[in-house]
Amino acid sequence: MSNPVIAGVAQVANRDEDRIVHPVELLEDAARAALSDAGIAADRVDGVLSTPLSVFSTDDGAELVASRLGLAPGMRGESRYSGAGPQRLLQTACAAVADGSARAVLVVGGIADASVRRARRLGQEPPAPPTSVWSQGSAGTGEHRMREPSWEGASAEGTSGAGMPSSYFALVESSLGGGLDPAVHRSRLGDLLAPFTRAAAAHPDVAWFPTERSAAEISTPTADNRFIAEPYTKLMCSFPTVDLAAAVVVTAARPGETGSRDVRPLALTAAKDAHAPSARPVIHRSIALERAVDRALGLTSIDPDRID
């Protein structure tokens, strides 16, 4: 058995208003940069794993990236639409390296929804469909959906019109903040999110909005920071119309090497809730998440109090 490590990482952003790209172009750029960061040649890559490209297309991102890199046939995979999708792909990559079925695995993900908007504003056909039903704003996409969401069957969230991520998670957030003054709860969210804007400001080459904002600026509703889904203001929600991609290279630890930048995942666990939040005894409690965390801590023998 080999010890899998994250040997290379990369992020790319296309903020050029005159450049219209297919998402696979960004995935390829990120993949090549990650391989360069890892010091690994493409011909050592035995597997490519990707997040889905679009709900309006059945294109396989992993196969397209492998083709652009000129890779031999090998392990390919795609996650479902899920916030845990990239972590599950990393789990698959580490398992393949650990059991020796792959020397190196690329994990990639990205979207080019800003390019879709640029093309449509110019009256051009976009090189690829948008990623999701919400990625072009309130005007919609005008596309026929070819992939279904991960929830099996109907949910109260969907039938009540709360199927969008901002509304969906706002329901969970409202349950979590039950009994608190709404302004106090929003203030806590501002405190949580402000450091992320500081990180974005420090990386203007890859951040879509590289502007540091205060907790009060994020949490206070104003004309420029309206409520999207209470308690979430506009500045609390991710912006979907971007051209961004990232890649990670997983390979085996090099025997005897010291001082390496490689990052060794100590444990990767996953679980899936059987029902949507509205069907749970406590809306904001995820039994699957609790089990996954407990399992990860058990595998690593790490005391939760040591986690910063």
Q: What is the pLDDT of residue 17?
A: 94
Query: Residue 216 pLDDT > 60, yes or no?
Result: yes
Domain range list for the chain: 4-117+242-267, 177-238
Q: Which band of pLDDT confidence, cut at 50, 70 and 90, is reported for residue 136?
A: low
What is 4-117+242-267's CATH topology? Peroxisomal Thiolase; Chain A, domain 1 (3.40.47)
pLDDT in tens, 60-84: 999 999 999 999 999 999 998 888 8
Query: Residue 207 pLDDT > 90, yes or no?
Result: yes
Q: What is the pLDDT of residue 121?
A: 92
Q: What is the pLDDT of residue 120?
A: 92
Mean pLDDT score of the chain: 90
Sign of CA dihedral 194, 196, 199, 204: negative
Higher pLDDT, 151 or 206: 206
| Range from 16-20, 74-78, 173-177 carrying the lowest mean pLDDT | 173-177
Distance in angstroms (rounded) separating the CA atoms of residues 272 and 286: 9
Beta strand pairing call for 75-78 and 232-233? unpaired
pLDDT in tens, 231-253: 999 999 999 999 999 999 999 99
Distance in angstroms (rounded) separating the CA atoms of residues 46 and 103: 6
Distance in angstroms (rounded) separating the CA atoms of residues 233 and 231: 7
Query: Residue 138 pLDDT > 70, yes or no?
Result: no
As given in the structure block, the two tokens for residue 56 are 């309006």
Q: Which band of pLDDT confidence, cut at 50, 70 and 90, is reported for residue 254?
A: confident
Q: What is the pLDDT of residue 82?
A: 80
Query: Is residue 102 within 8 Å of residue 4, measured between CB atoms?
Result: no
pLDDT in tens, 77-123: 999 888 888 999 999 999 999 999 999 999 999 999 999 999 999 99
Beta bridge partners of 77: 49
